[in-house]
Amino acid sequence: MELKRMYRSELLAAWDKFQRSQLLFPFYDSHSQARTGFLSAVKRGNGYFIERKAQWLLVEKVDEGGTWRINNLLISTDIGWRTAFLLLENAARQKFKRALQLKLKANFILQQWLIAQGYQFLDGIWQKELVYHTGLVLGGGGARGAYQIGVWKALLEKNIQFEVITGTSVGGLNGALITQGDYNQALALWEEIETDKVLDITFKEVEEIDFAAQVDQLRTFLRTSLQQRGVSSKPLRRLLEERLDVQKIQNGCPLYVVTTKVPAFQEVIVPLNECRKEEIIEWLLASAAFFPMMAMTRIKGENYVDGGYRNNLPVDITLQMPITELIVVDVHGPGLDKKYRLPDEVTELVLASPWNLGDLLLFQSGRSSENIDLGYLETKRIFGELQGYRYFFSCRADFESLTKHFFVYLRDKLKINMSSLYPELRRFFRQSVPVEILSLAFLEFFAYWVNVSPVKVFTPEEFIETILKHFEMPIKLDANFSVQEQIEDFIENHNVFSNYYLVLQIYQLEGSLEAAYRRWPIPTLLALFFRYIHNEK
């Protein structure tokens, strides 16, 4: 759950529910006045909402740097006021805001309650300073772990500190880099990393790493691992010995890594700060020993393999600590993700890219650099510093005007039922897409289709130009893309039943598209939108 901006189309789609919403605190004299006030806030761009199942909290806020000033709060009839207030504070914690301010007239009973909740009345405003006790969870995922370093870069810029870090496999390795507090060291490691610097394996020399060469590397990897009962990780040991300062790790933020003892297949949680210096790298290697592809690690006469076999995303361990918020960075590694119950008073911020982050065990410095950039940009977006779904744009990028111009273009071409458009968009994109920024979703649809790289902050004009250029001169996926990604791209581009091909077929139709719109409303709009950006080029 997070606080999201509300657009008029979303509000109108839930109008009956909105009309039943009630004022939480006396920001206004009546519920109807508060609803009218919120409607005005939505028009100004200051209306937001938090949705939890069928419940919602409507918020009018002004962002003043590190503070949220709340001017109105409405709740659905099935949510209690204590829960609503907790949701509001948790939403502010997700963005790591310094304080919450409430501008309202409080009677004596409400004054006492606000004081009990940590609010103070200063200069006519009720204000609460938010105190943070943050835990960081880093999941396993092999070569995809570079993404976590990009996330860390964005968190460093916001000066977010951690009171505990837990990690599995590559998450444990990155946790050690974060604990020693040297971002440049971590960046240098990932930007120069290659498979032969991690594993004791040699691939045959090729002039160019193309799809065939990548498949051959995977075959070599599999054959060597079967012959040796796991490829040795001695190169990784040497790399860690060069890059890690075990003294700093011992004195740094508490770090727990997960490994699996065999043959008992038992989860082992290792408090790395409490280990002897000579054991720290051993336990990190044990946590990352992805057997049977990688050799087991032997410590004190016992064999250990990758912690992901028992707990690939160790949120449960972090929740045992006295924290108030949790940052989880999931890089989609294989293994077991335990179910957990998040306490109501703990805020969770999950970073899990919608993009494929590449192969698990083929380390490539070029792909690592891209994943670092992706982790950085996606974290900036989740803090509201960028906008977009899969791609990235400045918050000043004006997609509402672009959408309005598109609807003017549509005026004489289709009769559009605006009230039904929002739910159709939600079904097609499988997420909430406000009608007002329809152009953003449509542009990203085409960009993803023609393999536009996401690791850049675009202007709308640059994005359109890039999309049209890729349509005219399709790019070939290079060696930075995994074998799986290249296969999926080949299948998608040869699947005549995909949404992409349907849009292309409608685009090529001549005459009226009314019949096509009645049958396929969103694909028809996409086809017309593509005509529009071509005409406006």
Q: What angle do CA 285, 290, 293 make, to 5 degrees?
A: 120
365 is catalytic: no
Q: Do the Cβ atoms of 141 and 169 come closer than 8 Å? A: yes
Burial 5-44 (b: 16+ CB within 10 A, else e): bbbebbbebbeeebeebebbbebbeeeeebbebbeebbee
| Among candidate residues 70, 66, 76, the one with its CA nearest the CA of residue 46 | 70
Give me the DSSP letters along 383-426: TTSEE-SSSEEETT--HHHHHHHHHHHHTTT----HHHHHHHHH
For residue 52, give the H/E element and its range.
strand 47-52
Question: In sequence order, what are the beta bridge partners of 268?
Answer: 259
Q: Is the distance from CB of 236 to CB of 198 less than 8 angstroms? A: yes
Asked about 200 being catalytic, the answer comes back as: no
Q: Which of 496, 518, 449, 418 is nearest to 8 (CA)?
A: 418
- How far is CA 122 from each of CA 30, 104, 111, 183, rounded to the nearest angstrom? 25, 12, 13, 40
Catalytic residue among 287, 306, 373, 439: 306
Beta carbons within 8 Å of 366's beta carbon, 6+ residues apart: 479, 480
Token digits for 360? 């698990």
**Length of the chain counted residue by residue:** 537
Q: Which position among 9, 21, 76, 169 bears the catalytic label? A: 169
DSSP string of 296-329? -EEETTEEEEETHHHHSS-HHHHTTS--SEEEEE
Q: Is 301 exposed, middle or buried (0-12, 13-18, 19+ CB in 10 A)?
A: exposed
Residue among 82, 64, 84, 62 at smallest CA distance from 73: 84
Measured over the CA atoms of residue 73, residue 77, residue 78 and residue 81, the dihedral's sign is positive
Q: How many CB atoms are closer than 10 A to CB 336?
A: 15
Catalogue the active-site residues: 169, 306
